[in-house]
Amino acid sequence: MLTGSVRRQVRQAVPAWIILVAIILLSSLFSSSFRTIGNIRNFVTQSVVLALVAIAQANVLFIGGIDMSVSSVISISTIFVALFSYDSTLGLVGSIALALAVGALTGLVNGIGVVRFRIPAMIITISTQAFLKGVALILMPSSGGRVNIAFSSFMRNRVGIFTYAAIITFILYVIFYVMYHYTTFGRRMYAVGNSPLYAAQSGVPVERTTVITYVVSGLVAAFAGIVLSTRISTGNPLVGDSYAMDSVAAAVVGGVSMNGGVGSVVGALAGAVIMTLINNVINQFGISPYYQYITKGLVLVLSLLIFQLRRRRSV
């Protein structure tokens, strides 16, 4: 299965998986509360949303972009679901469709901004992030609304330690893994991330690939928001805020290059779980949760630095 560049891309994820396993083993060894089935279950549930956002983020990182707007897309999705889904099935389907449509639209704006107006990805996605946050605050100035109970309890159903949400996330990972490595579209994405210029010379439709990639990211981020809403049962205009940074950190820790064209979604999964685990472990050991910020910031800087230094040496 791992032929050609796929092997190379997937190999980028190996360090993250080793670190992940190491953290789990060490934590289980030293914390009796960590290794309880309750905590592990809890932890799987916690990981789901970031794992989904990590797909969205890795997606744009592969083509050499970045998407900061995922945070506001998540928030606004929880709001749509909380506002419209409570009463009826029709409302539920409608609210989900609305959330996905807004996610896709945001991606479209980002993609067009990058391709047509040549705005740096960081800047255009920060703008759409701010704008959507404004819209979210107008729709719902503070946490509120109610999420369809049938829907949220459905997503919380478990098979073993895995909720349905976790299982859907896992299926999405498989789908994206196949898309990146075994379809023509995935190949185009990696080519664009490697070098838009050379990709264009080789006949890759760079602009179209870029726009579609941002739209897909917007969709996945919206889906992450929908899943989050079933967990918190309400809508919240600020609940997505931390996910922009966390998803970048998750992807980078998972071996996805900020320069595009390198890495695999397999690594993003490990990265997302590691980032969640850091929070969980900090809680389990009774360390002040405020250290989470510093830890995450340091993890991000260090993994970027390591990546940069490794790249330098190979040049």
Which parts of this chain interact with another protein (CB under 8 A)?
3-6, 8-9, 113, 117-120, 122-124, 126-138, 141, 182-185, 187-188, 190-191, 193-195, 197-199, 201-204, 245, 248, 258, 261-262, 288, 290-298, 300-301, 304-305, 308-309
- DSSP code for 159: E
**Whole-number minimum distance, CB 203 to another protein, in Å?**
4
**Whole-number minimum distance, CB 182 to another protein, in Å?**
5
**Cβ closest to another protein, residue 166 vs residue 235:** 235
**Cβ closest to another protein, residue 50 vs residue 300:** 300
* Tokens, residue 214: 């941002």
**Whole-number minimum distance, CB 236 to another protein, in Å?**
14
**Cβ closest to another protein, residue 36 vs residue 120:** 120
**Whole-number minimum distance, CB 290 to another protein, in Å?**
4
**Whole-number minimum distance, CB 31 to another protein, in Å?**
22
- Residue 257: C-alpha distances to residues 62, 92, 132, 152, 173 (Å): 7, 37, 27, 35, 18
**Cβ closest to another protein, residue 153 vs residue 205:** 205
**Cβ closest to another protein, residue 46 vs residue 295:** 295
With contact defined as beta carbons under 8 Å apart, do 232 and 74 qualify?
no
Q: Which residues pair with 50 in a beta bridge?
A: none
- The dihedral of CA 235, 170, 162, 287: what is its sign? negative
Helix (H, G, I), strand (E, B) or coil at 239: coil
- The dihedral of CA 94, 170, 174, 236: what is its sign? positive
**CA gyration radius for the chain?**
19
